[in-house]
Structures are given as structure tokens and as C-alpha cells.
Chain A
Amino acid sequence: MPKASTAGDVTLSVTGVSKYFGGVRAVDDVSVDIPKGDIFAIIGPNGAGKTSLVNMISGFYTPNTGSIVFQGEDITERRPNERAERGIARTFQNIALFAGMNVLENLMLGRHVHMKTNLLKSCLYWGPNQKEEVRHRARCEEIIDFLKLNDLRKQSTGALAYGFQKRVELGRALALEPTLLLLDEPMAGMNAEEKEDMARYILDVNEQLGTTIILIEHDMGVVMDISTHIAVLDQGMKIAEGTPAEVQADPAVIKAYLGTTH
């Protein structure tokens, strides 16, 4: 099912990055190359440093060491909004929707970088701005159709069920039309059916739009099923990397997951 990536075509290149919090080495000298078009899973026990790594990729943490290169450009010093402009979108482990806004408004915010209306034009709101508004609204409607959120369009996201909130957050990230999509535990807390839906959406996005995806997920069944490559983190360090089959057979991984030593 997963597509094989074109060798040598790297979307994101993480080299020797570390993040320290006081004495804690949340991420310790990690290097990974994410091939274009991959569904690249990052797995590891709780506190392994997965979210910290994604936070460095999306710009929330500045690494203590190392560099991050996205599509040939060093973005280590770029702010999160600048990375969004370059095509990196993400969702959060703890959901960060605009709870007071409805689904559509959340998605429209995802269109921010693609819209051009500046302050002066906003004040006047004449023809071209209205056309732009309508055009982007139509794009959001496509996403709403794709994620089957039609009935919830005008509902306030704060009141939605957890699984739907996760879905809307995915939709908002998709509205950015990202080249690289970072998903931090998109299926956490979902039932089997919801997980299946979410897995389907992730695969569809990857296959239909060619979006490169970095996926953090604890459900090994899903990870082994949909990812092209997997990197395993433990205590901030990368202990293994490869295809699902390779990683499953790796003794270091088995050890980390069973927690036999340390």
C-alpha cells in the first residue's frame, strides 16, 4: 500500500539536533532524513522526545545543537510562522483549535498564508477582497467534504467531540496546503473506527496530494500499516530507523519497548 519514495529526494533533513531542558536531554543528537512523499513515523516510549523533535521542526523549540534543512533551505533560525509560509503544517498532541470559532473559521485561518488581503484592503473590503474570500472559502469547503465535516461546518469547535476536534485540526493543517505535514498523535484517544477513518485520511492526503507526512503515533498496528519508514527514539536518542519490517526485527527496539535493561 505505501508508496516507495524516490531515492535521494529529501524533503526534510535533520542533522545532529539536540534539545536540553536543564539536565534533561529531551532530544540528543538526532539525525533523520525524511524522503519526499514519505509517511515517516516517529515512535518511542513516553518522554522519548518525539514531540520535542517535532517542535524543533515546526519552530517552537530552537535546537541547542544541529540544523534543520527544509527543501534545501536551512530553517533552523526561522520562526514558526515563517516555516508555515514555506509549507510546514502541524497538529498538536493536545489539540490547539480556536475553540470559540466554528469549523469553517478554523479552516479559513488555515488559508491565511495563501491570502493576500493586507490591512488597507481589509479596511475597504471591496470587490477583489470579497472574491478572494469566496475563493478560499471554496477551498475550505473541499476540505470539509473530504473530511466529512459537512454537518459541523458552523459548529463551534470547542463543543465538538474529541475525535472531531482532531479531524478539524487535521483539516486546518490541510488548508495550508503543506508540503510537509507533522501529525503529533492524531489518533490518540480515538476508538478503533475513528482510528481507521483517520488512517484513511492520512493515506489519502499522502497519495492524492503527495504530501510528505511525519507521524507520531503510539498505536503500533496503525504505524506498521501505513508508514513508509520509521525512526525509533528512546531517551532522546535515535535507536533505530528503517522500514516497518526492519524496525520490528531490530533488537534495540524490542529491548526499548520491553524495557528489559537500563
Chain B
Amino acid sequence: MFHRESGYYKTSYASDSALYPLPVAKWAVAGFAVLFFVVAPLLVSSYYLTILNLVGIAVVGALGLNILVGLTGQISIGHAAFMSVGAYTAANLATRFDLPFWITLPSGGLMAAAIGIVVGFPSVRIKGLYLAISTLAAQFIIDWFIVHTPAISGGFQASIQVPRPSIFGVVLDTQRELYLFILVTVVIAIVVALNIARSRVGRAFIAIRDQDIAAEILGINVRRYKLMAFAISSFYAGVAGVLYTYYSGVANNEFFPLVVSIDYLAMVIIGGMGSVLGAIFGATFVTLLPITIDLIMSSLGPYLIADAGSLSGIKSHMRLILFGGLIMFFLVVEPEGLNRLWLNIRSYFRVWPFSY
């Protein structure tokens, strides 16, 4: 994507709003497609594909939250609860009615979207901290409700074994096969997020974020669009929850605690609010960070700290400290997140080798 604009002039309004305004970008996208669809599944080891799967699931969840928080300027500390809704919806449909993934996946999203609209209702009247707290409450209420309703959670330990998805009779039971399944979903999620952002609906979201009074005066139904943002965000979360369920083979509420909601907020903030690319960066970064810390501490740690117990304690604290620090850094110093760093690098190369 280190492309240059010189010598290429936009000749129509349509090309101005095209997803890839420059022809070079098309090649870059094609390159990434080959890399992720062909090279990775052939060459990457199963362990790293597992990690890529986790990244993919996080990307879907973060894209959704970014639409709510980054584009529309609302807040939710209950994102993980919607993943849980998606997970249990899919698990019940798959186990009780033997339904295939192409029904469970959107159903999980739709159920989460429906509940997201309910949870979003306070946003019509309240903002900021109060909205944050009401979504936080939703996180706990939804979690509690699922766990205490055996009809949903399957009773014992709120855990439901889910059969792996299958396509044309092929069961996707290895991480390698699941990888392609998740990847396709991620690509669709990205394209849809980009389309929303550049269309009438996305513009309305941004208008509400920037100036809700002006948005209203231009005929934007602010209440409806806020609820729509909650619905889309929750739909993405629900889909991410379904993916996680297929990935792990179990639906379990313990996968979706409050900390996960905060992780997703961190992804959106660290990645760069309101940008699709930022959400992808943020999701990748936040997913890989603990794994990297783990790797480093496991290989170096024993030389530094003898006691295995305190080592694992330090490991988990390290993650929290780094997270807290990074969120503060990006909120205060670089609100546009990793995406801004990327843009800076790109604009540097755009004029390279001239320094101005």
C-alpha cells in the first residue's frame, strides 16, 4: 500500500468515493488476499493459525464496536455480553435443531442486535458516563440471565458443546479449516464496515458523533440512528461470539466476561477511533500483546524470577499494566491511534525520497 498518487487524477465523483481510490491499492489488496487465503493456510503452522483465528474473531468484534464508539460516538462496556448472546443463540440452534452455520451465524448476530437495541435505548436520553454505566449494567444482567436460564445455557456450568461447522458435508474440525471459515467472515465484515462508513448511514453516524444538534436539524433521526448503531455493533459482536463458539467447540459465558468488553474498547481506542483499518490494527495488537508477553516471559522469565507462581502473577499483571498505559497513551497523545501512525508512515513514503 505504499502507493503514490501522482500521475493519477480522479475524473469522476464515483472514483472519489471508491473503496480503493488508487489502482495500486487494488494490487495491494490482491496481494493481501493471496497472502491470507493461499500462503497462510499452506505454510503457517497450526499453532499460529490458532492465533490468527483469534485475531480474526477479534477483528469482527472490534469492527462492530468501532461503528458504535468510533463512528457514532456512543459507548458500550457490554460488548462481550453480546458475543455471549450470539454464542448461546448459535449453540442452541446448532444442538437442538441441528442447524448449519449459515443459519446460526446470522441468527446469533440478529439475536444480539435485537438485545443491543434494547440496551441502546438509554442512549436516546443519556450520554457519556451514564450511558457507559447503563451498558456496564447490561453486561452483568445479560450474563446473569444467560447463566441462570438453563433453557439457554444448557444448565451444567453454563456450557454447551457445539458441533463444528460443515460446508458441503466437509466438517471443519481443524484450526486450518476453521481458519478459512473465519477468514471469509472477516472479509465480509470488513467490506460491510467500509461500505457503511462511506455511505449515507455512516455519514449520519459521524454527524451524530460530531454535532448531534446539527445532525437533527438536517433531518437525521438521531434516536433511530443511535439504536441502529447499537444494533450493528451488537450484530458484529454476536457474529464474533458465534465464531468463537465454533472456534472453541463450546459455548461458555466464561469466555465473555467484563474484561473482554474492556479489551474491545482498548482495540478501538488503540487502533484509532472511527477507522476500519484502525479497528483491524487494534484487534491484532490487543490479541497479540498478551501472547507475545507470554512468549517473552516464558522464555526469559525463568532466568529472572525463580518462583513459578510469582512469574505467572507478574505475567498477568504485566498485561494489565501495558494495556492501561497504552490506552492512556493513545487517549492523551494520539487519539487517532495506530491508524494515525500508519498514515504518517504512508504519507512519509508517499513523497519519499523528498522530505516535504
Interface positions of A (Cβ within 8 A of B)? 58, 60, 79-81, 84-85, 89-90, 92, 96-101, 105, 108-110, 112-113, 115, 117-119, 121-125, 129-130, 133-134, 137-138, 141, 172, 176
Report if A123-B195 is in contact (Cβ < 8 Å); known contacts: A81-B216, A98-B206. yes
Sampled A-B contacts (11; CB under 8 Å)? A80-B217, A98-B211, A100-B210, A101-B210, A109-B218, A118-B201, A119-B232, A122-B196, A125-B198, A125-B199, A176-B218
List the A residue with the shortest CB-CB distance to B14. A134
Q: By DSSP majority rule, is chain A's interface helix, strand, loop, or mixed?
A: helix
Report if A109-B192 is in contact (Cβ < 8 Å); known contacts: A81-B216, A134-B14. no
Produce 1/0 per residue, B169-203, CB < 8 A to A: 00000000000000000000000100110111111
- What A residues does B14 contact at CB under 8 A? 130, 133-134
Contact A122 B218 (CB under 8 A): no
Contact A133 B17 (CB under 8 A): yes
Q: Which has the most chain B C-beta neighbours within 10 Å: A130, A141, A176?
A: A130
B13 CB → nearest A CB, Å: 4
- What B residues does A119 contact at CB under 8 A? 196, 201, 228, 232
- What B residues does A133 contact at CB under 8 A? 13-14, 17, 199-200
In the docked arrangement, what's the CA distance between A130 and B18, Å? 9
Chain B residues within 8 Å of chain A by Cβ, number: 31
In the docked arrangement, what's the CA distance between A172 and B215, Å? 11
- What A residues does B201 contact at CB under 8 A? 117-119, 122
List the B residue with the shortest CB-CB distance to A110. B218
A97 CB → nearest B CB, Å: 7
Interface positions of B (Cβ within 8 A of A)? 12-14, 16-17, 192, 195-196, 198-204, 206-207, 210-211, 213-222, 228, 232
- What A residues does B196 contact at CB under 8 A? 119, 122-123
B57 CB → nearest A CB, Å: 20
Contact B219 A176 (CB under 8 A): yes
Contact A112 B200 (CB under 8 A): yes
List the A residue with the shortest CB-CB distance to B201. A122
- What A residues does B204 contact at CB under 8 A? 109, 112
In the docked arrangement, what's the CA distance between A33 and B46, Å? 76
Contact A117 B211 (CB under 8 A): no
- What A residues does B222 contact at CB under 8 A? 81
- What B residues does A134 contact at CB under 8 A? 12-14
Contact A98 B217 (CB under 8 A): no
Contact A90 B217 (CB under 8 A): yes
- What A residues does B207 contact at CB under 8 A? 98, 109, 112
Q: Which of B12, B200, B202, B213 contacts A96 (CB 8 A)?
A: B213
- What A residues does B218 contact at CB under 8 A? 81, 84, 89, 109-110, 112-113, 172, 176
- What B residues does A123 contact at CB under 8 A? 192, 195-196
Contact A117 B199 (CB under 8 A): yes
